[in-house]
Chain A
Amino acid sequence: MSSSPPYTYIQCPCSNEEPAEGSDASSPEGDSFHDAERTFDPRAPRSNYSLYLLEYLLYCEECQQIRCPRCVDEEIVTYYCPNCLFEVASSNLRSDGNRCTRNCYQCPICSGPVQVGEVQAEPETNLLSADNATAAPHGPYALFCQYCSWVSSEIGLEFERASGIPSQLAKMKNGGIPKITAKELKERRKEEPDMPPLEDELVDAELQYSALKTFYQSQINGPSNGLPGGLSLGDGHNFSSPAALTRMMSMWQPGGRGAQGKTAGPPDMFPEATDTDKGLKLAQLDESAKVQKLLDGGWDETVSKDQLLSQLEHAHFQDELRPLQCVLRTKRSRRCAVCRHIISKPENKVGSTRFKIKLVAKSYIPSITIRPLEPLAPPVPVGMRPQQPQEPPLKPLQPYQYILTFKNPLFEKLKVSLATPNNTPGRFSSKVALLCPQFDIDPVKDMWEDALDGDDRSRTEETGQAEAGKIYKRGRNWVSIILEVIPPLLTVDSLRPHTASGEPTDRSPLREDEKILEIPMFVRMEWEPEAQHDVGDSVGKDRNEGQKRELAYWCVLGVGQISHE
């Protein structure tokens, strides 16, 4: 809950459901019945995980229930590169990994996208006449970052061709030193078998990994080295092998099948890699060169945490960072976890940002806004408009009035009933009163239709001032009512010694979130859906006709800060 008041959060009903009873969620009556028994406490630790802004919520039409990001299942529709917008098939993903294999690279310094450009080998002598086009010599190419002006030639990376950067980069270490790949090493070994193993400094993580991989692969595929299936408890080493562990686990399981396992599977024990060819790399403990570099370069030469986290290999200094291929992104569709209906599905095409299906809660449940009746903060100037006016902190024990506006997104008349606890939950409870807890909101109508209707029925009930039982103001598809709040005195001494149930009160000092006045409000809405014309099946029609629908949920109104002097 990061935004400053006033705000409205809606509690997704999924947090009240028992994890086992998935089918029961389709009956909203049941839910509201349970909820009615206890007041929702917005300050409870669990509430943080169930409160969402209306914009973040979806709505399942089948279950007729709000769905939050926690109670939907996501499915990946496509993978694509955010830089070149190229779609990657999921089969390629398995072989090539989750990075773009084309020329898309990220700057290692600032993570911005880099471009391939020509390195100006010979600067033009006459700077003033910059227009004279010289015959372009196709010089070496480098990666340029447009944001932080990083150039890959800084770390000695220059390329012969502008295309196929990944393959060129794979053969090059920072500083332009050719990289020894596992394949090369194998071929070299074939030519001269007596060649001594590589120096440890020359083995990088990639080479080490491929060596280890081949070493262990050969053991898994190779013949079992003589350890039979049974457990030889005498040999203490055996316990460390994962196969022995699983076998022991299966013995202990009720009805376990014992230890007559496979005998032809991989061996129980793998010998460890013992030399460079098998993938052993000793730790480089001589760090004097690094210390010297740190002394020379200072703080600016070292990598930041963000830079380090994005790198594949561990790096200490800026010049050890390598440009990285862009990580692919996904487009996801969302399904209701209960009824498996798709409630949000983006278009497959990468370039399009439209959705095929998107059932957002905003078009099913009323939006609730809260603002003070008599604002004390000066209005925000036009130039800084998105900014909300900051109200001064509320003075304790003084009544404040707020306008709650409900806007109906439906084409049907909405019956709304509200409920708030008289005293907000928590140690310091504010007194809350809703002046008009039950009202109807007119449906969304055409502006013309509304003008031609001309009935003044609605106009008679509104008062334009705070009056109990009356609507404050009413519009085409919205209704405003008044909420009255008396904030508490935020001093520990003012607390009663005992709570209502007789327990001693918590007298710990004032906590951070107790300064914020939040009001839980239960909203129950009821409407009669029109018979759906387009739906073909008659069963659905029967069910829809003449039947009232209702939806009930808790929401939290963030009213403001309470001053605590």
Chain B
Amino acid sequence: MSTAKRQSTVPAGPKPPVNFSSTVTIPKDAVLQGTHSITIQSETLIHPRARLDSNLGSILIGRRSIVQERAQIGVEPQNIDTAIRGGVSLGDYVVVEVNAVIEAGGTEIGDGSVVQVGSRIGSGAKIGETVVLSNGQQRADKRLADARKLGTLKQINVVRKMIRNDQDKFK
């Protein structure tokens, strides 16, 4: 076996129209695909190998949000019959943790939410200021909003130094 990185056999999809703020940090390993627009607002951080799929609807990610590794946004809904048409919108200060899945179809994640490791947000869900736990439960986040924002910001400030920004690849 060759030691070279295995190339995906699936042909790359169309490049989606993107609309990035100049302060967005997005590495070249992130995967963006689809036909609808992908908008990412200022100071948001995308980790490598995060996957944003706008095939089913546009994706909007607010300010100072974090999308971690292998998180998938805009995935085809598991239950096609009940799914609505539409995309995904993430508010400000949203943290989508490793391996979390957010289905497309009018899904709205409100400001300051945390979607924890490996959890799945169904199509059409509308949550806000909430922590979605890995075990599928959720609870309202009652921490001081400012302290929480500060935590997210500190995380962004540290990680953005470690991720090489490669916005131009997606434009």
Contacts and interface: CB of A to CB of B under 8 A. Distances in A.
Interface string A122-151: 011001101100000000000000011111
B141 A149 contact: yes
Contacts of A154: 142
Contacts of B5: none
B143 interface: yes
Contacts of A123: 144, 146-147, 150
Nearest to B139: A148
B40 interface: no
Given A148-B133, A300-B139, A300-B140, A120 B114 contact: no
Contacts of B150: 120, 123-124, 127, 130
Nearest to B148: A149
Interface in B130-169: 131, 133, 139-144, 146-150, 153-154, 157
A147 B133 contact: yes
Interface string B96-114: 0000000000000000001
A328 to B, nearest CB: 25
Contacts of B142: 149-151, 154
Contacts of A128: 153
Contacts of A150: 139, 142
A389 B157 CA distance: 45
A301 to B, nearest CB: 10
Interface string A97-123: 000000000000110000000001001
Nearest to B154: A130
B144 A130 contact: no
A321 to B, nearest CB: 12
Interface residues of A, number: 16
Nearest to B135: A110
Interface string A76-110: 00000000000000000000000000000000011
A461 B154 CA distance: 70
B146 A120 contact: yes
A460 B150 CA distance: 74
Contact of A127 (B114, B131, B139, B149): B149
A109 B139 contact: yes
Contacts of B114: 149
A197 to B, nearest CB: 36
Nearest to B114: A149
A139 to B, nearest CB: 12
Contacts of B131: 148-149
A110 B142 CA distance: 15
Nearest to B116: A147
Contacts of A149: 114, 131, 139, 141-143, 148
A128 B157 CA distance: 9
Contacts of A130: 150, 153-154, 157
Contacts of A147: 133
Contacts of A120: 144, 146-147, 150
Nearest to B158: A130
A123 B133 CA distance: 26
A148 B141 CA distance: 8
Contacts of A151: 142-143
B158 to A, nearest CB: 10
Contacts of A148: 131, 133, 139
Contact of A110 (B133, B143, B148): B133
A290 to B, nearest CB: 20
A148 B135 CA distance: 11
Nearest to B147: A120
Contacts of B133: 110, 147-148
B150 to A, nearest CB: 6
21 contacts: A110-B133, A120-B147, A120-B150, A123-B144, A123-B147, A127-B149, A127-B153, A128-B153, A130-B150, A130-B153, A130-B154, A147-B133, A148-B139, A149-B114, A149-B139, A149-B141, A149-B148, A151-B142, A151-B143, A154-B142, A300-B140
Given A123-B147, A124-B150, A149-B139, 19 more contacts: A109-B139, A120-B150, A123-B144, A123-B146, A127-B153, A128-B153, A130-B150, A130-B153, A130-B154, A131-B157, A148-B131, A149-B143, A149-B148, A150-B139, A150-B142, A151-B142, A154-B142, A300-B139, A300-B140
